[in-house]
Each structure stands twice: as C-alpha cells, then as structure tokens.
C-alpha cells in the first residue's frame, strides 16, 4: 500500500464524513433524544454502511451505479420518506414520565436505522464512488489496497460519528423537557428529509 496515498485518502475521507449532512444530523438527533446509550450502535450502523459503500465502490457494482445515476435519485427519495416518517413520529410522540424511550429504542433498532439512513444517503454513495477508486495505486495489490482503504474508512466513520454523538449527548443536558427534545429531533429529521430531496 502506498503510504502517501493512504494518508491523502484518510484526509479526504475524514473531510467528506465530517461535513454536516444527513448522516450527521441523524446522529445528533438520535443522541439528543436517547442519550449516551445510542453512541455505539449508531456509530456501528454508520460503520457498517461505510463498509458496504466501500465494497460496492471497489467492486464492479460501483461502475454500474456510476453509469446509472438514477439509482442514486431513488435512494435519495427512499431516504427522504424514511426520515419524514421518523420526524413525524418524533413530533407526535408523547413524553414518557419514566424515560422508557431509551428502552423502546433498542441498540438494535438504532443500529438498523443509522445503517438505513447512511445507505439511502446519495452523498455517501457519491463520496465513496469518487473517493475510493482515486486512491488505488496500480503498483500494489488491488485486494490489499481495497481492504486497507475499507478498514481506514470504517475507522474514520466510527470516530467521526461517535464524536458527533458524544457532543450531541453532552448538549442534551440543555433540554430538560422531553417534549422539547422530541420536537428538536423531529425538526432535524424533517430538515434532513428536505435536504435529501433538494440535493
């Protein structure tokens, strides 16, 4: 593996992941609503999506998606519909007096939701399709480079999304009223849905 290319990939991928977008907004909304218990499953869900993106981008399937860009449009609208559902559900939810919402949103559900949000985000697909192949050197084993880039992307995703969730969870103490937390998270989901449709 070309060390210089790996360092450049790490910088480029970190910048792409760290820029606030639908994934970051989802992490923040989840952390505001459910607290520290979602940090690991949410980060792992985005990590799984990053691994799937990498596998697709570094296989022949990435070429098919690149040639049929309308597939990304379909993914965008599926993601927008899903986030609209989450936003409306959050707005309409009734506050629980004993804070059972964290139990209701199991780590498994948070993991699945974060994976779905990331996999239906066209920005993630575009960033992956444009980033990974650019950092493959013709002078080294393709398979070794693909594995190294995939693992680096996975680690970067875990760190960035985990960091955002941790920051949002700390900000959660500013919201004492559970109803306000539901409204804020609902608004974030709906804004992300609008962003997906317009992007």
Instruction: Give the closest residue to 37 by CA, choosing from 103, 94, 93.
Output: 103
Q: Residue 34 has what pLDDT?
A: 85
Q: Residue 91 has what pLDDT?
A: 72
Q: Residue 29 has what pLDDT?
A: 86
Q: Tens of pLDDT along 8-34?
A: 888 888 888 887 788 888 898 888 888
Identify whether 17 is part of a domain. no
Residue in this structure with the two tokens 């209701």, named with its chain if needed: 104
The number of distinct structural domains making up the chain is 1
Angstrom distance (rounded) from CA 72 to CA 56: 13
Q: Tens of pLDDT along 141-192?
A: 888 888 999 999 999 999 999 998 988 887 776 665 666 667 777 777 777 7
Identify whether 177 is part of a domain. yes
Identify whether 13 is part of a domain. no
DSSP 117-183: HHHT-HHHHHHHHHHGGGG--TTS-HHHHHHHHHHHHHHHHHHHHHHHHHHHHHHGGG---HHHHHH
Identify whether 31 is part of a domain. yes
Q: For residue 20, what is the DSSP state?
A: -
Identify whether 14 is part of a domain. no
Judged on CB neighbours under 10 Å (0-12, 13-18, 19+), 92 is: exposed
Determine the distance from the C-alpha atom of residue 120 to the mean position of all C-alpha atoms in its chain, rounded to a whole number. 9
Identify whether 138 is part of a domain. yes
Q: Residue 176 has what pLDDT?
A: 57
Q: Residue 104 has what pLDDT?
A: 53
What are 70's two structure tokens? 């309308």
Angstrom distance (rounded) from CA 157 to CA 155: 5
Angstrom distance (rounded) from CA 91 to CA 187: 8
Judged on CB neighbours under 10 Å (0-12, 13-18, 19+), 20 is: exposed
What are 68's two structure tokens? 């049929």
Q: Tens of pLDDT along 99-131?
A: 434 445 788 999 999 999 999 888 788 778 777
Q: Which domain holds residue 56?
A: 3-7+22-198
Identify whether 102 is part of a domain. yes
Q: Tens of pLDDT along 24-71?
A: 888 988 888 888 888 899 999 999 999 999 988 888 765 666 566 676
Residue in this structure with the two tokens 């992307």, named with its chain if needed: 153
Buried b / exposed e along 66-80 (16+ C-beta atoms within 10 A):
beeeeebeebbeebb
Identify whether 15 is part of a domain. no
Angstrom distance (rounded) from CA 170 to CA 163: 11
Angstrom distance (rounded) from CA 167 to CA 51: 24
């Amino acid at each position: 593996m070309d060390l210089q290319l790996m360092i450049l990939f790490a910088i480029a991928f970190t910048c792409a992941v760290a820029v606030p977008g639908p994934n970051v907004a989802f992490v923040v909304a989840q952390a505001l609503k459910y607290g520290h218990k979602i940090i690991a499953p949410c980060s792992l869900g985005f990590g799984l999506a990053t691994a799937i993106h990498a596998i697709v981008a570094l296989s022949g399937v990435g070429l098919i998606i690149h040639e049929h860009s309308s597939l990304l449009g379909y993914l965008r609208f599926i993601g927008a519909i899903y986030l609209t559902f989450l936003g409306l559900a959050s707005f309409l939810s009734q506050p629980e007096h004993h804070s059972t919402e964290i139990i209701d949103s199991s780590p498994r559900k948070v993991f699945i939701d974060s994976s779905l949000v990331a996999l239906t985000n066209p920005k993630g697909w575009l960033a992956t399709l444009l980033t990974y192949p650019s950092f493959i050197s013709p002078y080294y084993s393709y398979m070794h480079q693909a594995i190294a880039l995939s693992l680096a992307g996975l680690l970067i995703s875990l760190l960035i999304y985990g960091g955002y969730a941790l920051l949002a969870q700390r900000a959660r103490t500013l919201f004492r009223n559970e109803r306000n937390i539901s409204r804020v998270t609902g608004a974030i989901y709906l804004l992300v849905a609008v962003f997906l449709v317009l992007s």
